Structure 1
Amino acid sequence: MWRFLTYMDNSGLYVGLDIGTTSIKVIVAEKVKGQLNVIGVGNQPSNGLSRGVIVDIDQAADAIRSAVNQAQEKASIEIKDVIVSVPANMLRIEPCNGLITLDDQSREITEEDVRNVAASALGTSLPQEREIIDIQPEEFIVDGFDGIKDPRGMVGVRLEMRGKLISGSKGIMHNLQKAVTKAGLNIVSTVLTPLAESHVVLNDGEQDFGTIIVDLGGGQTTASVIHDHQLKYATTDPEGGTFITKDISIVLNTSMNNAEKIKRDYGYADSLQASADNEFPVEVVGQSEPTYIDERYLAEIIEARLSQIFDRIKDRLNQIQAILT
């Protein structure tokens, strides 16, 4: 079973590996006086992947190794152990329950009891093609009293747990693990990408009260619902930044490389923020002279695709009543 853990090797270094839809990223961080300092990074195109899923293990392993080599060179270390992120498109989240009887008579609940009741939830029936990645306890129930966040030290006979079971496709997880191993690396821990993002971009109150994180990636867009410091729901739209680049390329009749540069240099997600007075040159295929367009026109191209993506995500979030109106 894959587990969500925090890991640091004996040298005080963290090495994270993120296999995204368009790029594979490696980051090396050193913990000094309670703070993490980034000392090396690597970034390579996601060869061997399609929509965030590994379809060619050899190509993916080569890309992972190239990204690791970049990070090693910058950090002046040798990387063997990595923490691997598990993206939202691999996840399925569903309710789970655990139950154990402590003893014939009431006694104090221990850490081992908490682990045992969580382990009892592992008996939840899953399709053969899926495996458990993590279990997130939401509340404990001691002798019928619910709403308990931490039952340790309490006295009871019957301990129950309600939570979320997070599973992934066995085939997809196997291919991910195989590619990392083939790249000469050892997976010491896994982390759910939406949870990692929540720790980076949200403060404590936002993680507790409830927030939706929208991650616009290259090949897809993910929306994750974080509440009570836990991942409650995640959905993935199969379109992302690369689709915006393609739109720009088609509408302006320019190459994908030029379209990507234009998007980064002049693009706005909101056309109201762009100026119709600011023009820039566009290299048009088949023409020797550039064509000039304004930022407002470019923003309208970008905004059209974003509106489609966000509308679909909003519909899915509304289905689970994640958005308060």
Structure 2
Amino acid sequence: MKQFNSIIEIGSFSIKTIIFSNENNAPKIEGVGKSNTQGFDGNNVTSFDEFIDSIKKSVVQAEKQSNFIIKECFILLANKSIKINKFKNSLMLNYSIIENNDVRKLSKIKLKPQKDFLQNIHTSHYQINDDLITDNPIGLSCKKISRISLVSMIEKKQVDLIENIFQKLQIKIINFMDSTTSYFLYLKGKKLSKKNLILIDFGFNHINILVIKNKQISFIKTLPIGCRLISDDLVKMLNISFDFAEKLKISTIDLFDDRNPVIEIPVWEEFGNNIKNKIEHDYIKKIITSRLDEIFNSIFKILPQDKNFFSYLFTGGGSQIKNFQLYFRSKFGHEIQFLTPPSSSGIPKVLNDSSFMSIYCAYYLQTLKSTEKDDFLKKIDSFSNKIWYKRFVDIL
């Protein structure tokens, strides 16, 4: 009989569920669910009942596909309630050879209890004599070996809130996960050739920035801005509903369409009249790009000074705007690549985009799916970003 596990991602825009099996060390996604988040803004619950209903919808979709009822799950979060700290502990070996027992000693870490936080610890890397970085220190000789750990700290009040909701759903929470360490450990497990990466998770209410330098986390930042601002601008400027603004943003407007077609905008139907305004595509595109310019100018101000020598990865729903890649290259002079689940992931094609990447990374870590060793970044050369940067400066 198959053993099933599940992960539920609580986001400000959508709730995602994955049910998976791992029979004979062959992990497989058995069911997937996605619903729009209601009653939750990413940090606070605004309507308890609506929030529970939106979780139920996602869970039921995955349960029907897998023919399995979720009784327990992992919860994945990505918001400002999470902090990531580094922790270093060391062992003096006096130039003896590192053995398995030495690594086990380093893994026995007792974290200081935190009243206000739930803590999870993950191995980032090992350090030899405060110099050499390695993932596998066994067999080396050194004076001192250190383990650098990532401590994921999730606010207890957020944990209590989610646990209370899932108790009502009669689902036991096994543990909480965060998207930042999930992304990092996924990329680390892929054995990428690129050492310096900037990952931008362009979410609905938040933008999460992860900078990896020399295959180590060097910078983490969560900004309280996201692609919702674009939809809000469209609602105000065009006097349309929020749902229609979302459709314009993701499905209709092309950031590199120069034909300037006319877009029909429905007028509020006070008296049941099906009236539509006709507005130029370029006018709506300008609303979107103006907000994008503002968002990414703010981001570039906080990135490292040597940001032009990094490879850029994007994920999250905000990066799904049509021709976002060309916009970013022409505006900021950087080639970018989207981080998406592989086509063989088991996620239905209609859902398999960058917005599903965070929960896929969590699934990857839970199953230790080491069969995917493809270096999907090999086509991006940081040198190409240097060339684009030079062209960009020359234009200025």
TM-score band, normalised by shorter chain: 0.7 to 0.9
Identical aligned pairs, as a percentage? 20
In 1: Cα distance, 2:90 partner to 2:101 partner: 14
Deviates more, 1:147-156 or 1:164-173: 147-156
Among 47, 50, 63, the alignment partner of 1:72 is 63
Residue 298 of structure 2 aligns to a residue whose secondary structure is helix
Cα pair distance change 1:65/1:257, threshold 3 Å = closer
In 2: Cα distance, 1:22 partner to 1:128 partner: 30
| AA at the equivalent of 2:125 | E
Alignment pair present for 1:18 and 2:9 = yes
| AA at the equivalent of 1:73 | K
Alignment pair present for 1:224 and 2:210 = yes
Whether the 8 Å CA contact 1:98–1:118 is kept in 2: the answer is: no
Alignment pair present for 1:317 and 2:306 = no
Q: Hey, what does 1:161 align to over in structure 2?
A: 147
Among 93, 97, 102, the alignment partner of 1:113 is 102
Among 54, 58, 72, the alignment partner of 1:63 is 54
Among 69, 75, 81, the alignment partner of 1:84 is 75
Taking structure 2 as the reference length, the TM-score comes to 0.65
In 2: Cα distance, 1:121 partner to 1:146 partner: 25
Q: Hey, what does 2:323 align to over in structure 1?
A: none
Q: Which runs of 5+ in 2 are unaligned?
A: 310-385, 387-396
* TM-fit CA distance, 1:77: 1.5
In 2: Cα distance, 1:303 partner to 1:203 partner: 35
Q: How does 1:1-325 map to 2 (within 5 A)?
A: 11=2, 13-30=4-21, 37-54=28-45, 60-87=51-78, 89-100=80-91, 109-120=98-109, 122-123=111-112, 128-141=115-128, 146-154=132-140, 158-197=144-183, 204=190, 206=192, 208-227=194-213, 231-268=217-254, 270=255, 273-285=256-268, 288=273, 289-318=275-304, 324=309
Supply the RMSD in Å over aligned alpha carbons: 3.6
Residue 50 of structure 1 aligns to a residue whose secondary structure is coil
Cα pair distance change 1:66/1:249, threshold 3 Å = same
Deviations 1:30-75 (A, max 9, x none): 5589775544222233234233455666654443233212211222
Residue 303 of structure 2 aligns to a residue whose secondary structure is helix
| AA at the equivalent of 1:212 | I
| AA at the equivalent of 2:13 | T
Q: Hey, what does 1:7 align to over in structure 2?
A: none
Whether the 8 Å CA contact 2:126–2:145 is kept in 1: the answer is: no
Residue 234 of structure 1 aligns to a residue whose secondary structure is strand
Cα pair distance change 1:148/1:252, threshold 3 Å = closer
Whether the 8 Å CA contact 2:15–2:36 is kept in 1: the answer is: yes
Deviates more, 1:72-81 or 1:29-38: 29-38
Cα pair distance change 1:274/1:197, threshold 3 Å = farther
Q: Hey, what does 1:6 align to over in structure 2?
A: none
In 2: Cα distance, 1:13 partner to 1:21 partner: 26
Residue 44 of structure 1 aligns to a residue whose secondary structure is strand
Cα pair distance change 1:259/1:35, threshold 3 Å = farther
Whether the 8 Å CA contact 1:317–1:323 is kept in 2: the answer is: no
| AA at the equivalent of 1:274 | D
Deviations 1:67-104 (A, max 9, x none): 212211222211223232131533323332213457xx
Deviations 1:110-143 (A, max 9, x none): 44432432444734xx86433422243333336x
Residue 291 of structure 1 aligns to a residue whose secondary structure is strand
| AA at the equivalent of 1:277 | N
In 1: Cα distance, 2:135 partner to 2:288 partner: 44
Residue 209 of structure 1 aligns to a residue whose secondary structure is coil
Whether the 8 Å CA contact 1:86–1:190 is kept in 2: the answer is: yes
* TM-fit CA distance, 1:147: 3.4
Residue 140 of structure 1 aligns to a residue whose secondary structure is strand
In 2: Cα distance, 1:173 partner to 1:111 partner: 35
Residue 56 of structure 2 aligns to a residue whose secondary structure is helix
| AA at the equivalent of 2:289 | E
* TM-fit CA distance, 1:291: 1.0
* TM-fit CA distance, 1:106: 7.4
Deviations 1:213-256 (A, max 9, x none): 22222222222224566554332222222221111111111122
Whether the 8 Å CA contact 2:16–2:58 is kept in 1: the answer is: yes
Residue 133 of structure 1 aligns to a residue whose secondary structure is strand
Q: Hey, what does 1:3 align to over in structure 2?
A: none
Q: Which runs of 5+ in 1 are unaligned?
A: 1-9
Whether the 8 Å CA contact 1:225–1:322 is kept in 2: the answer is: no
Taking structure 1 as the reference length, the TM-score comes to 0.77
Aligned residues: 307
Q: Hey, what does 1:4 align to over in structure 2?
A: none
